[in-house]
Chain A
Amino acid sequence: MKTKTPVTTPAKKGGSSIRKIQRKDNWQLFSLAIPGLIVLILFSYLPMFGVVLAFKDYRAIDGIFGSAWCGFKNFTFFFKGDGAMLKRLLTNTVGLNVLYLVVNTVVTIIMGMLLFELKNRLAIRVYQTIVFLPFIVSWVAAAYAVTANLTYQNGIINSALAKMGLEKINWYMEPERWTWILMIAYLWKRVGHGTIVYYGNLMSVDTSLFEAAKLDGANRVQVMLNISWPHIRPVVISFFILSIGGVFNSDFGMFYYLTNDSTALYARTDVIDTYVIRALRTGGNNVGMSTAIGLMQSAAGFIVLMVVNKLAELVDEKGTVF
């Protein structure tokens, strides 16, 4: 790579040829990003025009433009309901999301650093694969595994408990336990992805720093705290800020499939997304209302993101997103 950097190329006519070559290099890099950009534009930017539906009484037959405007009618339904229910939804959604996000971040950093400590190539590959694999398993498939473990009659855990002479636990009836069951599931699925990102980031640290630290007699923990951590801190902060924007959106698959949609667990597992599905899955004229909820979630998430971003400036300016 080093021979290709434009700075080392002799400049013929001032800076213009450098820029030309830079542009050429950028173009190569840019072309790598094209598939991702297309996906982003198609699935994240173009559909944004759909938010007009939140303010319309949508009827497919009239089309998006033809449907009548209805002001904020679509937004009100969510707040018309029971106040206690609303409080529960917000507590579950925001509370669980923040809890899982924080725990996930901490665990991921530790895992990334531990992986970096390994020197055996084969071992690194094996661990990477093992922790990353759950990321591509769907929640529906995961739900079967969870059911196999937890079901009351023949579940693996309950069978084991019974064999040991302990009392069986009716998992799907006890909401309190699900804060933690879902946390384990969340970590199981997400940790691998973050771990690999942080590990990759640590690979780019100048090795001479580590060698110098070793010569100065720093132990492993000291190296982690004083070299590794400052290096990945901006990335950690960026990741955290980006994730916090989705704090009002829950991972629907996890909350819906993993819990078997068991009504007995709603006290702790009912989040905005599952509530909305329940409210709007029957009846046909709900495109407007569901768009309105989505818009509200995004708007609220955006505000949180901006606030956290501002706060992050105080910690480490390099990690901020804006």
Chain B
Amino acid sequence: MKKILALTLALIMVLGMFAGCQPTTREKANEPLGADLTKEEKFAEHVTLTWCFPDGKQAADFSEWDRIVEAINEITEREINTTINIEVIPLGEYTEKMSMKFNANEKWDVCFTGAWNPYTTAVSMGVYEPLTQEYIDTYMPNTLATMNPLYKEAMTINGEIYGFPIEQIYVRQSGMRFETDWANEVGFDYTQVKELTDLEPYFDTLLSMGYTECFFSAGDDLMTNLVSYLGFDPLVDAMSPGVVEYRDETCTVINQYESEQFMELAKLMKKWYDKKYFTSGALTGEQDNPIFEEDRHPVDINPAYKPGGDAESSRSYGLEIKTIPFGDAVLTSSAIQMTAMAISVNCEYPGRAMAFIDLLNSNEELLNLVCWGEEDIDWVWVDKEQNLIEIQEGAYPGNHAFLVGNTFLTHYVDESQVGTWEETIAINSSADGSCILGFTFDASNVSGELANINAVLPEHLNSILCGMATGTVEDAVTAMNNALYQAGLQTVLDEMQRQVDAWKASK
């Protein structure tokens, strides 16, 4: 008897576990379709949606966060008859948390995807809803009106669109950030810097003045931060081998670590390390240790230059920072995929979810509420004509607009920013398009090789780009490439070329 009881208990527990493993694709609600429907017809039914939101400024820790949420819901209920359930996730944990949600098949409706929570990875996991043209026409008329069709192309994977880019700077251009305190002290004119070597006189002066700080943050991040300066359009990410030189009309896939540009960079870093422009901490991770020193460098490379960004970073670092654009400005698929919004394949109301994204892209009141808080409580107008506001003392810390919606609709918070949206739009429309703009690599056939490459690369790359590889630079680079090929690089490059060729032929 007892045995039977025990067995039954065990069976129940096991079955209970398996219940969670069943696919839980929900039925789609019957949403009205048609571009000429009225608001009342489209939004007759009241709907609740969950929005997973990366919080870059600790907005959710704000004591009056509930007030902001309430105000957000007031607008969404009025405009699209929808209650938004905001699930706030700290930016630093966003990628992992979303990945957990995907793998556990948890319920959510709308989420940010891109630089955090990579778009193509999530698409290959099959967790995003493909957005059909009929739905887009019905529920995203405003976004569609402002969006350049090229951007839609960049989001297309295997003929389907799984997300909508958030309007911001799409062009990929490195920025070189200077702390003006240091530059002014030395009397260095940073506006004239065109090449990395132009920094040498500045660093030499700093050395001769007795500074021993780390002048420049070297290391494998340089591959990401200098990607357009080096002239690459990466197929997986800037660090993973496999790129196309974006001006190359033949669209030949190469291993960037065998390129001349890379060799030159490696040699320069070796020279800089020997001249003591930076310390060994760059390699061992000690330099960024918050216990010992503030993470300050006279020069920093920022992967994405954007007009008006200095006011933002000066505010968050509490230092005066000036950024100059550095290297080429290129329009690439991966840059456009950096900030986008996607809808869950389990979402019962994809149309309503799209309407919410559309609202974030077009409703100034809602967008600025999420980004800066409520008018007259968190901020006040300085100059309505210029779209300039002033943030109040102790107000809601706000959110990064590029994680929320159309950044060109947000208010300026610093006088120096006025006019930068127009400037950004001009840069977006005048930049060179990469030769593979609109192509997205599907890594599923070579995931094993890529995994091994990911594991092998950092050990070599980091020491080379910190200038600390043993032996000559040439030998170290050769050793790295040998290790990469051992890990299966040739298979990856062949697969990339095959897909690029197929994409080109289909155009």
A-to-B contact residues, CB < 8 Å: 41, 46, 49, 58-66, 73, 76-77, 80-85, 144, 147-148, 151-154, 170, 172-173, 260-264, 266, 270, 275-276, 278-287, 289
Contact of A280 among B24, B289, B345, B451 (CB under 8 A): B451
* Given known A-B contacts A81-B486, A81-B487, A283-B450, A60 and B102 have beta carbons under 8 A apart: yes
CA distance A63 to B126 in the complex (A): 12
Q: Are A170 and B280 in contact (CB under 8 A)?
A: yes
Interface residues of B in 265-292 (CB under 8 A from A): 279-281, 283-286, 289, 291-292
A278 and B125 contact, CB distance less than 8 A: no
B284 touches A173 (CB 8 A): yes
Task: Say whether, besides A147-B289, A260-B285, A263-B462, A153 and B454 are in contact (CB < 8 Å).
Answer: no
Residue of A nearest to B443 (CB): A283
Could you tell me which residues of chain B, from 449 to 483, have a CB within 8 Å of some CB in chain A? 449-452, 454-456, 458-459, 462-463, 468, 483
Q: Which residue of B lies closest to A73 (CB)?
A: B448
- Residue in B104, B280, B451, B452 whose Cβ sees the most chain A Cβ within 10 Å: B451
In-complex Cβ contact of B121 among A65, A151, A172, A284 (8 A): A284
Given A263-B459, A285-B444, A289-B448, do A66 and B285 touch, yes or no (CB 8 Å)? no
Task: Choose, from B10-18, B63-71, B151-159, the stretch at the interface.
Answer: B10-18
The answer to whether B286 and A147 touch across the interface, beta carbons within 8 angstroms, is yes
Chain B min CB distance to A52 (Å):
10
Q: CB of B144 within 8 A of chain A?
A: no
A-B contact pairs, 24 of them (CB 8 A): A46-B17, A60-B105, A61-B105, A62-B126, A63-B21, A77-B448, A81-B452, A81-B486, A144-B291, A147-B291, A151-B292, A153-B286, A154-B292, A172-B280, A172-B285, A260-B284, A261-B285, A263-B459, A278-B458, A281-B454, A283-B451, A284-B121, A285-B124, A285-B125
Query: A194 CA to B459 CA in the complex, in Å?
Result: 36
A-B pairs, 10 with minimum CB distance: A77-B448, A172-B284, A64-B21, A82-B486, A279-B455, A81-B452, A63-B23, A279-B451, A284-B121, A260-B285
Q: Which residues of A contact B33 (CB under 8 A)?
A: none
Residues from chain B with a CB closer than 8 A to the CB of A64 are: 18, 21
CB-CB < 8 A to A279: which residues of B? 451-452, 454-455
Decide if B283 touches A60 in the complex (CB within 8 Å): no
**Chain B, residue nearest A61 (CB):** B126
B272 CB to closest chain A CB (Å) equals 18
Q: Report if B99 contacts A (CB, 8 A).
A: yes
- A85 to B456, Cβ gap below 8 A? yes
CB distance from B345 to the nearest CB of A (A): 6
A172 pairs with B286, CB closer than 8 A: yes
| B297 CB → nearest A CB, Å | 15
Other A-B pairs, 13, CB within 8 Å; known A41-B13, A59-B126, A173-B280: A46-B13, A62-B126, A66-B22, A80-B449, A81-B488, A154-B292, A262-B283, A263-B463, A264-B283, A264-B284, A264-B468, A279-B451, A287-B103
Judged by a CB distance under 8 angstroms, whether B122 is at the interface is yes
Known: A152-B280, A262-B285, A284-B122. A76 touches B451 (CB 8 A): no
Question: CA separation between A61 and B486, bound complex, in Å?
Answer: 34
Q: Which residues of A contact B459 (CB under 8 A)?
A: 263, 266, 270
- Return the contact of A264 from the options B17, B443, B447, B463 (Cβ within 8 A): B463
Contacting pair B483 A82 (CB below 8 A) = yes
For window 126-141 of B, CB contacts with A under 8 Å fall at: 126-127
Task: Contact check, A173 vs B289: say whether CB atoms are below 8 A apart.
Answer: no
Contact indicator B345/A275 (Cβ below 8 Å): no
- Asked whether any CB of chain A lies closer than 8 Å to the CB of B25, the reply is yes
Question: Which residues of the partner chain A approach B293 to less than 8 Å between Cβ atoms?
Answer: 153
Our pick among A58, A152, A172, A282 for the contact of B454 (Cβ within 8 Å) is A282
- Inter-chain CA distance A145–B98, complex, in Å, is 32
Contacts of B455 on A, CB cut-off 8 Å?
81, 85, 275-276, 278-279
Bound-state CA distance A104–B443 (Å) is 44
A103 to chain B, nearest CB (A): 26
Task: For the complex formed, measure the closest distance between the CB of A10 and the CB atoms of chain B, giving whole angstroms.
Answer: 28
Query: A283 contacts which chain B residues (CB < 8 A)?
Result: 121, 443, 447, 450-451, 454
Min distance, Cβ A137 to any Cβ of chain B, angstroms: 17
Which residues of the other chain, B, contact A49 by a CB distance below 8 angstroms? 14, 17-18
Q: Most chain-A CB neighbours within 10 Å: which of B13, B285, B345?
A: B285
Q: Shortest CB–CB separation between residue A96 and chain B, in angstroms?
A: 18
Closest to A154 in B: B292
Among B283, B289, B444, point to the contact of A263 (Cβ < 8 A).
Answer: B283
Is there an interface contact between B284 and A284, defined as CB atoms closer than 8 Å? Answer: no
Q: Tell me the nearest residue of chain B to A172, going by C-beta.
A: B284
Query: Hey, which chain A residues are within 8 Å of B25, CB to CB?
Result: 61
A63 to B283, CA, bound (A): 41
**Inter-chain contact B23/A61, CB cutoff 8 Å:** yes
Tell me, in angstroms, the Cα distance from A81 to B454 when the chains sit together: 11
CB within 8 Å for A77 and B279 given contacts A59-B125, A172-B284, A263-B459: no
Chain A residue numbers with a CB within 8 Å of B488 are 80-81
CB proximity of B288 to chain A, nearest CB, Å: 10
Residues of chain A within 8 A of B283, CB atoms compared = 172-173, 262-264
Distance between B49 CB and nearest chain A CB, rounded to angstroms: 19
Known: A278-B455, A278-B458. A152 touches B447 (CB 8 A): no
- Of residues 348 to 368 in B, which have CB atoms within 8 Å of A's CB atoms? none
